[in-house]
Amino acid sequence: MRASYLPTISELQAFLACARHGTTTRAAQALNLTQSAVSRSVGTLEERLGVQLFDRVRRRLVLSDAGRGFAQEAQRLLDGLDGAALTAMAFGGHSEVLRLAVLPSLGQSWLVPRLAGFQARAPRVTFDISARLAPVDFETEPFDAELRRVGTERPGVVTEVLFDEQLLAVAAPGLAGTGPHAPETLARLPLLQQSTRPSLWLDWFRDAGVDPRTATRGARFDHFGMVLEAAIAGLGVGLVPALLAEPDLREGRLVVVSDRRHRSPTPYALIFPERSLGSPSLRAFRDWLTAGAEQNAPARRGRGTGARAASLATGEVPPRLPVA
């Protein structure tokens, strides 16, 4: 049962319209209601809350101190309700929704261009995809799964390794020519930094046996997609995953400037809570991803950590994963 002090949607709308327009007459015109209906809604709302929301000043409604604080929350609530309604409407015609969190660059450059292949296989499934740098808390957030690099094992969470992360040094053709270049030569060029993974260049130069003290100098960007765009613009050399750089390399916007390949110790994985194993859409998506990964890196495939993975039928194979 709704508590007696909780306002109705119509009361919130009338209150905010009065706050915006300053009179019940103008608020009524904006809402396509009568002036008496708006006035009654505002009065009922003040009665519910036991507080005066407006000061009546020369026939104008001016928010009181209490009204100013309440207006911010009321607007946030209505905006949230509007967004929730639009989200629900977007899923019309689909019987299943897969809520997925994905690393921003991985989602934009790799996953989204391949989703048509999955939807041809599972037309009743639609997606609600969010770009996320931080790991999902499956206890408090309504995601079915996430695509990211392997992290700390979590109780009740399954980790399905898909493929290794292989990092390439790339640059615009006009900056570094066709290459390849020795690590000592790259150390003298601008090095584009990935701010959420600041040790990438340090590790790359250390593995190459080169003094890494200058490896952290250069412009910093929040994620690999921005690093790629900066490299294409000629701002410097980017150290990026091969699977993200492949389209730009193929089209000639970037060139590989070193023969060295750096394998990250944390491969990409599909990560999901045990409860998602009961979702048909998640099972179909999981099969589609893992079948494609097995084409390229069968030795790296694992059936998961943190829980026993269910036995699932193999779905349609996605396009081959461009792993170097």
What does the CA dihedral 309, 315, 319, 323 come to, rounded to 10 degrees?
Answer: 20
Check: CATH 3.40.50.10860 for 9-90?
A: no
Tell me the HSE value of 16 on the side-chain side, using a 13 A CA sphere. 18
**Of residues 240 and 82, which shows the higher confidence score?**
240
| pLDDT tens figures, 118-151 | 888 888 888 889 999 889 999 999 899 999 999 8
Peptide bond into 142 cis (omega under 30): no
| pLDDT tens figures, 252-283 | 999 999 988 888 888 999 999 998 888 888 99
Q: Where would I find the H helices in 95-160?
A: 104-105, 115-121
Going by the DSSP 8-state scheme, the letter that residue 123 receives in this structure is T
Long-range contacts from 57-66, C-beta under 8 angstroms, 24+ separation: 59/23, 60/22, 60/23, 61/18, 61/19, 61/22, 61/23, 61/24, 62/22, 63/19
**For range 194-198, the mean pLDDT:** 89
Residue 44: other Cβ atoms inside 10 A: 15
- CA 172 to chain CA centroid, nearest Å: 27
Q: Where would I find the H helices in 54-141?
A: 65-90, 104-105, 115-121
221 pLDDT exceeds 70?
yes
How far is it between the farthest Cα atoms of the chain? 80
- Whether residue 138 contacts residue 110, with contact meaning beta carbons closer than 8 Å, is answered with no
- Whether residue 187 contacts residue 258, with contact meaning beta carbons closer than 8 Å, is answered with no
Q: Which H or E run includes 127?
A: strand 125-131
CA–CA distance from 276 to each of 91, 143, 145, 250, 267 (Å)? 19, 9, 7, 37, 21
Q: What is the pLDDT of residue 2?
A: 62
pLDDT confidence bin for 313, thresholds 50/70/90: very low
pTM of this prediction? Answer: 0.63
Same fold? 9-90, 96-164+266-300 = no
Q: What sign does the dihedral 276-280-283-284 (CA atoms) show?
A: negative
Residue 299: other Cβ atoms inside 10 A: 6
Q: Which residues contact 5 (CB under 8 A, 6 or more apart)?
A: 48, 49, 50
Q: What percent of the chain has pLDDT over 70?
A: 84
Q: What is the pLDDT of residue 113?
A: 87
Tokens of 68: 């100013």
CA–CA distance from 76 to each of 68, 80, 130 (Å)? 13, 6, 21
Residue 210: other Cβ atoms inside 10 A: 16
Topology adopted by domain 96-164+266-300: D-Maltodextrin-Binding Protein; domain 2 (3.40.190)
- For the chain, give every domain's residue range: 9-90, 96-164+266-300, 166-263
Check: CATH 3.40.50.1980 for 166-263?
A: no
